[in-house]
Chain A
């Protein structure tokens, strides 16, 4: 039975487009006086966060609450998790509490997969970011944002649209999930980063890579800037911040070379002055705030499609 969302690769094109169409309906809820739907009444969703993440957690929490689910937040700090409890015992505890879905963020790549497949619990597992591996709901909200801006003038799809993802690809689960999902949806993905920040095996992802940002910008329909994840860096990947931002940062000069319809995205939290300058982040092209709004709608769509019926409408096997 399909019931988990662990990787962007779990989604077929039909699945992904169903999520986007459902998210569009969920988004219209924001304009109504009562921003609540009864679909998940009586279901329990646990936010299990082994790693700090305010925005993803509150986004999932808002999404679950708007669907009338009961939400339990379980974060590593100040809980049994910091006392050395294993993932297995945590899972058994949640199972005993009757969780219908577990939204998990973990510093270790593959933890959500283990939680889903080890047989410890029967709940649906939604990956909310695991190590440097994947972050499928972020990719869905990014795709949803692109789809809203670019699909209407492109026959209702992202076919052939050029997406440039710039920066710390090596440590970015967002880049990996986006590369998978955007190709499923028909877009062309180019990753731009210094050689030290491109992961081993990137040639198997089916994407184009480049070290030269200025060369790819004029053709881009979407430019997505990634945060430089210094907390995950245990070596010198580039000489200085100044050199990085001169070669790979988005500033006013580079923004001027973009096509008129091109949008600038950032998954947040952004470091102004590092990968993006304030004038770009606050410009008309920037859809960074919109991404946050879309995040709630997309997570509502995912939770509804996984938990709303007798069996899930999307997601990975078993």
Chain B
């Protein structure tokens, strides 16, 4: 989810300068954060064996792909990347109009007995991750599950924490964190609106 507000706005390119947004991560900073996350994942898991990265659409997926590319640069192992749509598992499914489903693609090897690293752009209430854990339950049984996020903006509503964080970003509830990625929005950047 790119716009983390209590009522997340639809995805789409946003122009922070137009809204007077404050840029907190630029393209290089995002790249460095992802490089560090890739190293931390390898360190924690003693190499890239039996790892699977699952991105949460839409912006978690390109982030997962970038982390996997960095892991293969460092360790010369190929880490399977997939996507996991959590729409149907959301606890607020009934509170809003039926939403478009996003792709779920589980890598051919599956996730049974693998170490799954969930990847998302912003960690906020934690409800998306809870939904992702439920969604994964219907796909297989991983050996363990870890969580990597580009930005942790706080304000958790559930007992969930990230294992790998690109940047801890203290925010107020009135603020919105906008993540833009080359693959979706034509440019990289994280800003607070």
Given A25-B104, A37-B88, A39-B88, decide whether A310 and B139 contact each other with a Cβ distance below 8 A.
no
Q: How many residues of chain A have a CB within 8 Å of chain B? A: 23
Kindly list chain A residues whose C-beta atoms are within 8 Å of the C-beta of B96: 309-310
What distance in Å separates the Cβ of B7 from its nearest Cβ neighbour in chain A?
13
State which residues 165-190 of B face A: CB under 8 Å: none
Any chain A CB within 8 A of the CB of B28? no
Kindly list chain A residues whose C-beta atoms are within 8 Å of the C-beta of B140: 33
Q: Mark B93-129, 1 if CB is under 8 A from A, else 0.
A: 1111111111111100000000000000000000000
> Closest chain A residue to B134 by CB distance?
A38
CA gap between A18 and B105 in the complex, in Å: 19
Any chain A CB within 8 A of the CB of B85? yes
Any chain A CB within 8 A of the CB of B138? yes
State which residues 29-49 of A face B: CB under 8 Å: 32-34, 36-39
Partner of B93, one of A33, A36, A39: A39
Partner of A309, one of B99, B105, B138, B139: B99
Give how many A-B residue pairs fall within 8 Å (CB-CB). Answer: 58
Kindly list chain B residues whose C-beta atoms are within 8 Å of the C-beta of A307: 98
Partner of A36, one of B85, B102, B138: B138
Kindly list chain A residues whose C-beta atoms are within 8 Å of the C-beta of B105: 28
CA gap between A26 and B103 in the complex, in Å: 10
CA gap between A308 and B103 in the complex, in Å: 17
> Closest chain B residue to A37 by CB distance?
B88
What distance in Å separates the Cβ of B116 from its nearest Cβ neighbour in chain A?
15
Query: Are A312 and B97 closer than 8 Å at their CB atoms?
Result: yes
Given A310-B94, A310-B96, decide whether A22 and B89 contact each other with a Cβ distance below 8 A.
no
Query: Are A309 and B89 closer than 8 Å at their CB atoms?
Result: no
Query: Are A308 and B139 closer than 8 Å at their CB atoms?
Result: no
Query: Are B139 and A33 closer than 8 Å at their CB atoms?
Result: yes
Kindly list chain A residues whose C-beta atoms are within 8 Å of the C-beta of B138: 32, 34, 36-37
Given A25-B85, A32-B138, A33-B140, decide whether A309 and B100 contact each other with a Cβ distance below 8 A.
no
Given A25-B85, A34-B138, decide whether A308 and B100 contact each other with a Cβ distance below 8 A.
no
Any chain B CB within 8 A of the CB of A21? yes
Kindly list chain B residues whose C-beta atoms are within 8 Å of the C-beta of A25: 85, 101-104
State which residues 63-99 of B face A: CB under 8 Å: 85, 88-89, 93-99
CA gap between A33 and B111 in the complex, in Å: 12
Query: Are B104 and A21 closer than 8 Å at their CB atoms?
Result: no
Given A28-B104, A36-B138, decide whether A310 and B97 contact each other with a Cβ distance below 8 A.
yes
Given A32-B139, A36-B138, decide whether A309 and B93 contact each other with a Cβ distance below 8 A.
yes
Any chain B CB within 8 A of the CB of A304? yes
Query: Are B100 and A21 closer than 8 Å at their CB atoms?
Result: yes
Query: Are B85 and A308 closer than 8 Å at their CB atoms?
Result: no
Kindly list chain B residues whose C-beta atoms are within 8 Å of the C-beta of A308: 88, 93-94, 98-99
> Closest chain A residue to B89 by CB distance?
A38
CA gap between A305 and B101 in the complex, in Å: 10
State which residues 124-183 of B face A: CB under 8 Å: 134, 138-140
Query: Are A310 and B95 closer than 8 Å at their CB atoms?
Result: yes
What distance in Å separates the Cβ of B61 from its nearest Cβ neighbour in chain A?
14
> Closest chain B residue to A32 by CB distance?
B139
Any chain B CB within 8 A of the CB of A311? yes
18 further interface pairs, Cβ-Cβ under 8 Å (given A25-B85, A39-B93, A304-B98): A21-B100, A25-B101, A25-B102, A25-B103, A25-B104, A28-B104, A28-B105, A32-B106, A33-B139, A34-B139, A36-B138, A304-B101, A306-B98, A309-B99, A311-B97, A312-B97, A313-B97, A313-B98
5 smallest A-B Cβ distances: which pairs? A309-B98, A308-B98, A313-B98, A25-B101, A39-B88
Partner-B contacts on A (CB < 8 A): 18, 21-22, 25-26, 28, 32-34, 36-39, 304-313
- What are 5 A-B pairs at a CB distance below 8 A? A32-B139, A38-B134, A39-B88, A309-B93, A313-B97
